[in-house]
Amino acid sequence: MAEWIRFIAGSVFLLIGLFIFCVQLFGVFRYKYVLNRMHAAAMGDTLGISFSLVGLMIFSGFNFVTLKFALVILFLWCASPVSSHLIARLEVTTNEKLEEYCKTEKETDK
Amino acid sequence: MNRREKEKRKEKSEKEEKKSSRFESWLDGDRDIYDGNMELRPQKEYEPSPYLLRRQENERKKMEERVNDVARNKEYRVFKRAYRVLAVVFCLSFIALLVLAVSWLPPVGQAGNPDNNEVSARYIEEGLQETGSVNIVTGMILTYRAFDTFGETNVLFIATCCVMVMLMLDEAVLKKQETDNDRKYEPKNDAILQGMAFILCPVIFIFGIYVILGGHLGPGGGFSGGAVIGAGLILYVIAFGFKKTQRFFNEAVYKTAKITSLVMYGLIGSYFYITGANGIENHIPLGLPGHILSGGIILPINICVGIEVACTMYAFYALFRRGGL
Amino acid sequence: MAFLQAILLGFLVVCAISVSFSRNLLNSIIIYMSFSLVMAMIWICLESPDLAITEAAVGAGVTTILFFVTLKKIHAIGQEDGKDKH
């Protein structure tokens, strides 16, 4: 019985993760502008992968591998948002026609 | 008499000195041998006549017209079509050749295959006793085939030397471009990136050291761990710039670490080859398989290879980006 | 497992073809990076994790960075999308 509960819980988490990955892929190919696509991709990179890895953790049980999975999740949560932030920053600083694509705050300082 | 003889000797020795010094100066090319012996006049600058210039221009124009006239240039059209057809034919025939060669190979995982010979049997059966490493692959490439791996490590060393010869810049040029190199395209003092790199770099370094030290116990080894450490160094440079990196990893440290590790590998390896090839007793203890201090020469060689690869990766990045370490 | 390997090998072929047919150099580098990642997964399927670690670190990590730096050095990034007048 416990095995069944573990199997169902793990597969539910895995399926949620895979669904988020599908949404991410759809978003990346559906949107045309960099910041929108980046939003979709970053969501899959953090939420989808953490759900999938939690599912795998439940499958593997409580041992050393689970700890490694947790470390992988921690590493990805640290690394992936920073890379998205850098891409966004590069786009904002290099794109001269930013107003055409998205709303920007008017520069009142100048 | 004595005095005269002495004076004569002195003159002779002076002359000889002069001769030898003249020979030396001739050898070094200090003096132009034609200077004073031949009449030297400065050369006139070449000035083509306007007629010649016009003719050359006309010919060039005609040539360009002929080449650029695609519609009537039959050779060009034929060449273009033939190029495409031949490229496709060549690719297809090459693929067919490769597939044919693969189809002759025996299927994977059968007992009668030619790769199931006494060599692999020996590696699998007696590898643990002879090398003391739980991971058969590492035990194989660092003891049975240590000479090959030494060659690979030398290839890395020579590759960085070549990149240095081609891309290394002078100190003066580097100083001039210092601000450009450090902070031209890279994110300028990005607080988020710097904070994350401050947390992640030590973690990456520790993971790389773990992979290097666990090479004989599980998957890993010098090459992979060194690449991980090199990637961590690159992250540090991207986040904090070259100035801060040079505090702990400048050219002197790079040279010392790299050459020391290579020489250490050479010494350990040659001791191992000589004793192994001549049947002399090997005095490096193998230890208990499964412990971290085991495997004989595998652990020190792994550390040497790791340092070498980490230095190579970082040096490649630094040389490609700014032309100096 | 064999099915998964077949899918991964198919990915490998698609990546290899699209690297050479891609007009944008940046795109080809990123596709090459995904090629390396798929290759690492295939190494794990073939039960050689040592090679997988090296492939993921060197092929997908360091080589890509070196390619990017080289492209930046020869000013090849950002010229293909029509923004720059050349």
Q: Within 10 A of B273 (CB to CB), how many other CB atoms are there?
A: 13
| Chain A CB within 8 Å of residue B206 CB | no
Which of B217, B223, B242 to mutate to probe the C interface, most C CBs <10 Å?
Answer: B223
β-bridge mates for residue B128, sequence order: none
Give B203's contacts in chain A (Cβ within 8 Å).
75
> Is B193's CB within 8 Å of A78's CB?
no
Q: What is the pLDDT of residue C39?
A: 93
Q: Is residue A106 in a domain?
A: no
Of A78, A79, A86, Cβ closest to residue B187? A86
Name which of B5-14, B110-119, B165-174, B255-264 the model is least confident about.
B5-14
Enclosing domain of residue A24:
2-96
- Residue whose structure tokens are 């230095």: B311
Q: Is residue C79 in a domain?
A: no
B247 is written with which tokens?
A: 């505090």
> Is A79's CB within 8 Å of B200's CB?
yes
pTM above 0.80, yes or no: no
- Residue whose structure tokens are 């660092």: B142
Q: Please name the residue of chain B whose CA is at the shortest distance from the CA of residue C53.
A: B224
Q: Is residue C82 in a domain?
A: no
Question: Which residues in chain B (161-190) have CB-CB distances under 8 A to chain A?
Answer: 187, 190
Q: Is residue C6 in a domain?
A: yes
pLDDT digits (tens, 9 = 90+) for B187-204: 667 888 889 999 999 999
Cα B142 to chain centroid distance, Å, stands at 21
> Is A85's CB within 8 Å of B200's CB?
no
Q: Is residue A12 in a domain?
A: yes
> Is B219's CB within 8 Å of C58's CB?
no
Do residues B265 and B301 make contact, with C-beta atoms less than 8 angstroms apart? yes
Q: Is residue A78 in a domain?
A: yes
Enclosing domain of residue C30:
2-73
Name which of A50-54, B129-133, B150-154, C1-5 the model is least confident about.
B129-133
Q: How many domains does chain B have?
A: 1
What is the CB-side half-sphere exposure of residue C41 using CA atoms within 13 A?
15
Averaged pLDDT score across all residues of chain B: 83
Q: Is residue A28 in a domain?
A: yes
Q: Is residue C67 in a domain?
A: yes
C84: Cβ contacts below 8 Å, ≥ 6 apart: C78
Q: How many domains does chain A have?
A: 1
Q: Is residue A19 in a domain?
A: yes
Q: How far apart are CA C63 and CA A29, in angstroms?
A: 26
Of B224, B317, B320, Cβ closest to residue C57? B224
β-bridge mates for residue B38, sequence order: B35
pLDDT digits (tens, 9 = 90+) for B62-95: 888 877 777 777 777 888 899 999 999 999 999 9
Q: What is the pLDDT of residue C85?
A: 38
User: Which one-letter DSSP state was computed for residue A96?
Assistant: T
Residue C83: is its pLDDT beyond 60?
no
B34: Cβ contacts below 8 Å, ≥ 6 apart: B40
Q: Please name the residue of chain C whose CA is at the shortest distance from the CA of residue B108.
A: C46
- Average pLDDT over every residue of C27-41: 92
B196 is written with which tokens?
A: 């994350």
- Residue by residue, DSSP assigns B143-192 as IITHHHHHHHHHHHHHHHHHHHHHH---HHHHHHTHHHHHHSSS-TT-HH
| Chain C CB within 8 Å of residue B220 CB | yes
Q: Is residue B77 in a domain?
A: no
Q: Is residue A109 in a domain?
A: no
| Chain A CB within 8 Å of residue B200 CB | yes
Q: How many domains does chain C have?
A: 1
Of A78, A86, A90, Cβ closest to residue B199? A78
B110 is written with which tokens?
A: 């059968």
Do residues B231 and C57 make contact, with C-beta atoms less than 8 angstroms apart? yes
What is the CB-side half-sphere exposure of residue B304 using CA atoms within 13 A?
24
- Residue by residue, DSSP assigns B71-90 as TT-HHHHHHHHHHHHHHHHH
Enclosing domain of residue B314:
136-165+181-322
pLDDT digits (tens, 9 = 90+) for B8-26: 666 666 666 677 777 777 7
Q: Is residue C7 in a domain?
A: yes
Q: Is residue C85 in a domain?
A: no
